[in-house]
Structure 1
Amino acid sequence: MTTGPALPAGTLDLWLVRRPANGSEDRLDLSDLDAAERKRAASFIRPTDGLTYASAHIALRRLLGAYLDIPPPQVTFLREPCPGCGKPHGRPAVATPHHPRLHFSLSHSHGTALVGFADRPVGVDVERLPRATTVEACTPALHPGEQQELGALDPGARQEAFGRLWTRKEAFLKGLGTGLSRGPSVDYLGADPARRPPGWTVLDLPCGPRHNGAVALQGGPPAASRLRLLPADALFAGGAAGVRAAVARTPVPV
């Protein structure tokens, strides 16, 4: 029986996860993953993408195991009902009711993953900085207010602003549980916090020089917010114990 999550009430816990450095990929411990996760990790055309996926899911299982006080391989997942259609493809959740207040979200992109935990619905997103062609192709699909903001910027600033905007939008839609089945033009997630969707707190996150990050939390700002870098050896054999220690440790700001 679990003792409940090591997450103080009102706390938003965020973890950055880096793919293993070159030369240490073979040390990645896949034993905590289930068969479907291992198959998915092996299916990527680019091996580095498979390593990023595997690193993110090892981290998620080991972090959930630490918060819920259960072995990582025993963590099982389900999908909550979609708010739009009611079908089971909404927010991911832990399948067994170890603790109903622990919500989580996972995102990964090009060597970096971001994991968020809270006692209410949460969505996170991390994305590599966008190319100019991506900005040009995706801007027409945005909310009219976002298009107006981006159009007022010079091309260099527009690329940077679009990257921050898009991660906010993805984090919010993941927090809602709809993902991009809810069109990107519906909600304003631009630079003006007062115009963003009511009932949600949306924050930009520092995720390194090559990535943008964001978190969306249902309700007002958290009582405490912690952003930490998961230790590199947490993904290797025996690393689950280190994850438990890191969860319990007083965080050092990233």
Structure 2
Amino acid sequence: MLSAQVQVQAAAQLPVQVSWARLGDAHEGLLNLLDPVERGRHDATVDPADRARFLVGCALSRLLLGELLDVPPAEVPLRRACPRCGGPHGKVRLDARDSPGAPASYEFSVTHSGALVGVAVCWGGQGAQVGLDVEDADGFVDVENAARTALSGAELAALHALPPAERQPAFLRVWTRKEAVLKALGVGLRVPPSGLEVSAPDMPPAVLSWPDRLAAPPELAMADMVVDGVHPAAVAATGMGSGAVRVAQRDASALVAGYGR
């Protein structure tokens, strides 16, 4: 196992690591990685595709964090707790209560859309938080209805100024940025996304204006990505200054599909 000093030094130098797996990577051997709460949620999920996405997301998170913490993936201490009711369905985090001797912590964010499942991990020092979002470019999106809820007035006007064929990719780019930011801040869709205005799709990602409920937002770094050549994704991180966040991407399908086989 790495010494505490070496682990802290190595982690502090890491960019945000973003790893991607696929729906087809799910297999029964991954069930051995789940804790009782995860297994209960998995078994209670009716839709087979949603069940597979949840399984791959849990497995990928545990495999990545196990590598960083140098512990078996099934022993990575994870906890889900809703900030409002305390139920086991909140944002998943490393649980320091189960590893009080751990020299460091990591923050991570899980996303999925269509056949894609992604996990972003960053060093949790200096108040860092991370949010990741991906959207399936091949899926159907009711852009007009979604845009009226998700976009500010200025963003909606800019979207309608585009030719119809360009509106879905433009909307998805803007949406991934917003979702990543709201995840990084830990508020999710409890804050209306229309109040968060971001830069135009063809410009570097940035927040232009914040919702009133986030009157004193932290500095935020962002980056756009494209997965498998077509699917838009975005990552946002606090505690890393402002501007562009440094991202290291990894295709982790083989890691997930090969575990336990």
Question: TM-score, normalised to structure 2's length?
Answer: 0.77
- Residues 105 and 124, structure 1, Cα contact 8 Å, conserved in 2: yes
* CA-CA distance at 1:35 after TM superposition: 2.0
Rounded to whole Å, the distance in 2 between the matches of 1:150 and 1:57 is 35
| Counterpart-to-counterpart distance in 2, 1:131 and 1:212 | 12
TM-superposed CA distance for 1:233, in Å, is: 4.4
Matched, 1:175 2:184: yes
Per the alignment, do residues 53 and 147 of structure 1 end up closer, same or farther by CA in structure 2, a change over 3 Å counting? same
Identical aligned residues as a percent: 32
**C-alpha distance in 2, partners of 1:29/1:10?**
27
| Alignment correspondent of 2:132 | 124
Stretches of structure 1 lacking an aligned partner (at least 5 in a row): 240-254
Q: What's the CA shift string for 1:78-119, capped at 9, x where partnerless? A: 36896xx89898754211253444211111122211111112
Hey, what's the Cα distance between the residues in 2 that align with 1:173 and 1:9? 25
User: Paired residue for 2:242?
Assistant: 220
Pair 1:199 & 2:242 matched: no
Query: Which whole-Å CA distance do the structure 2 matches of 1:121 and 1:8 have between them?
Result: 14
Q: Identify the residue that residue 95 of structure 1 maps to in structure 2.
A: 95
Residue type at the aligned position of 1:147? L
C-alpha deviation, 1:76, in angstroms: 2.5
Q: Tell whether 2:17 aligns with 1:13.
A: yes
Q: Distance in 2 between matches of 1:194 and 1:68?
A: 32
Residues 91 and 174, structure 1, Cα contact 8 Å, conserved in 2: no
User: CA separation in 2, counterparts of 1:195 and 1:171?
Assistant: 11
Q: Please tell me the residue identity of whatever aligns with 2:24.
A: P
Task: Using structure 1 for the length normalisation, give the TM-score.
Answer: 0.78
Q: How big is each residue's C-alpha offset from its partner over 1:137-188, in whole Å with a ceiling of 9 and x where there is no partner?
A: 1111222221122121111111110011111111110000000001111111
Q: 1:210 to 1:49 in 2, by over 3 A?
A: farther
Are the aligned partners of 1:49 and 1:111 in contact in 2 as well (CA < 8 Å)? no
Whole-Å Cα distance in 1 between the matches of residues 103 and 231 of structure 2? 32
Deviates more, 1:44-53 or 1:211-220: 44-53
3-state SS, counterpart of residue 197 of structure 2: coil
Distance in 1, Cα, partners of 2:157 & 2:186: 27
What residue in structure 2 maps to residue 48 of structure 1? 49
In 1, the alpha carbon distance for the partners of 2:74 and 2:206 equals 42
More off after superposition, 168-177 vs 135-144: 135-144
Classify 1:181/1:9 alpha carbon distance in 2 versus 1 (closer, same or farther; 3 Å): same
Cα distance change on mapping 1:38 and 1:210 into 2, 3 Å? farther
Report the residue type matching 2:137 in the other structure.
L
Name 1:244's counterpart in structure 2.
none
5+ residue gaps, structure 2: 210-217
Q: Which segment drifts farther, 108-117 or 178-187?
A: 108-117
More helix by share: 2
Q: 1:67 to 1:46 in 2, by over 3 A?
A: same
The CA deviation at 1:58 is 0.4
Number of equivalenced pairs: 234
> Is contact 1:55–1:235 with CA below 8 Å preserved after alignment?
no
Change (3 A) 1:148 1:195: farther
